[in-house]
Structure 1
Amino acid sequence: MAYKKVETYDEDVTKGLMEGYRESLQLLGEDPDREGLLKTPERVAKAMQYLTQGYQMDAKAILESAKFNEKVSEMIIVKDIELYSMCEHHMLPFFGKAHIAYIPNGYITGLSKLARVVDVYSRRLQVQERLTEQILTAIKESLNPIGVAVVIEAKHLCMMMRGVQKQNSVTTTSAFWGEFEKAETRSEFTKLITSKLS
């Protein structure tokens, strides 16, 4: 039996993107009719739809789909959440990890939902600074917690492959709200995301 991969894409969007990528290949001096490039415009068109699928997702709906009433008042942290995004300035990838914490105020959400929120906003054309704030805002507005903290560490290919070409640079952004605006709480969060618990 032959292998068949089934994926769903918007046909009009795919067609429009394919035409653009085919023209781009020609403008770059390539032959889009060359064997190795025949299916490239279609592949890239589908890849871009996948990489920007966050535009069709609702972070608040995801968080509220697993919202539970719990009398928990301690810090909840999910750290080292992998993220992959696209820099909106050069449309080159940046990738790294997010660390999220919140202090509940009567409601908690499924832990996997926090990782999904990262995907919602990272699967868009982005800047890391805005991505950090969007994740915080979604949690704050959906769960009404006592505090939220988000830290993202990422490497940007627009800095590594072009421009300054700095291979080992890591960009860190942070956003704190509520209880995490207090130095003591923020310090506890920072300590926990940097420690190796055994």
Structure 2
Amino acid sequence: MSDVMLSEPDAGLASPVVPRKRPTREAAELAVRTLIEWAGDDPDREGLVGTPDRVVRAYEEFFEGYRIDPVDLLGRTFEETQDYGDMVVLRDVRLESHCEHHIVPIIGKAHVAYVPSDRVVGISKLARLVEVYAKRLQIQETLTAQIADTINEVLKPKGVAVVIEAAHMCMTTRGIRKPGVTMVTRRLIGAFETDAELKRDFLSTISGSRETFG
């Protein structure tokens, strides 16, 4: 893992991405020990002695999206489409992210669609794109926009649509504690925004699956 993290500028600013040094693994583990002590337990007792290491390793998985360039991920495309011009839909992509306000899970699914212009991308890359952005600290609105905007930027299709349905543990397990509540966000670009029939077709295609999260 690199010891440098890239700190993205605020939206709308022209400032470049600024390299930021990543704390050491030892510092991260010490921070976990501090949280255990703050919670009221003993980090040196048998059941917790290995927890700082395990938490840091878990964070490496939870937030691996910071180490992957989503634009590069979609870089390999294919021109052999036999003039296919209808929408391509990837439905029910499992999504696991973490709320940037409380660092607790966001669990749900994403539906991703685009209408090719002259190139297509492997469907596994679309699922991986969802995962890359999900494996970062997020709010669902930003996550939805990032997925759609990257597909639009790289593939330059006739249209892009992304819908995310997810449960937020910051709402279901703490605070107002409302289990069973699902948040839905969507981003429609190009033909999906201007063509009412295409929009209806897409929404109808993804409406066949319903699941309760959290």
**Superposed pair shares fold, TM > 0.5:** yes
User: How far did 1:139 drift?
Assistant: 0.3
Would you say 1:185 and 2:195 are equivalent positions? no
User: Which residue among 47, 69, 73 is the counterpart of 1:62?
Assistant: 73
Q: After the TM superposition, which of the residue ranges 22-31 and 144-153 deviates more from structure 2?
A: 22-31
Off by >4 Å, runs of 4+ in structure 1: 8-12
> Structure 1: which 5+ residue stretches go unaligned?
1-7
User: 1-side partners of 2:184 and 2:123: how far apart?
Assistant: 23
Q: Indicate the residue corresponding to 1:103 in structure 2.
A: 115
| Equivalent residue runs for 1:43-192 within 5 Å | 43-65=54-76, 67-69=77-79, 70=81, 71-182=83-194, 183-192=196-205
Q: After the TM superposition, which of the residue ranges 98-107 and 14-23 deviates more from structure 2?
A: 14-23
SS in 1 for 2:25: helix
CA RMSD of aligned residues (A): 1.6
User: 2-side partners of 1:164 and 1:184: how far apart?
Assistant: 39
User: How far did 1:14 drift?
Assistant: 2.3
User: 1-side partners of 2:71 and 2:181: how far apart?
Assistant: 32
SS in 1 for 2:74: helix
User: How far did 1:12 drift?
Assistant: 5.9
Q: Deviations over 1:45-77 (max 9, x none)?
A: 111121011011111111113x00132211000
TM-score normalised by the chain length of structure 1: 0.91
User: Which residue among 32, 45, 62 is the counterpart of 1:34?
Assistant: 45
Q: Indicate the residue corresponding to 2:32 in structure 1.
A: 21
TM-score normalised by the chain length of structure 2: 0.84
> Structure 2: which 5+ residue stretches go unaligned?
4-21, 210-214
User: How far did 1:9 drift?
Assistant: 8.7
* Greater helix proportion: 1
The number of residue pairs the alignment matches comes to 188
Say whether the 8 Å CA contact 1:14–1:46 is kept in structure 2.
no
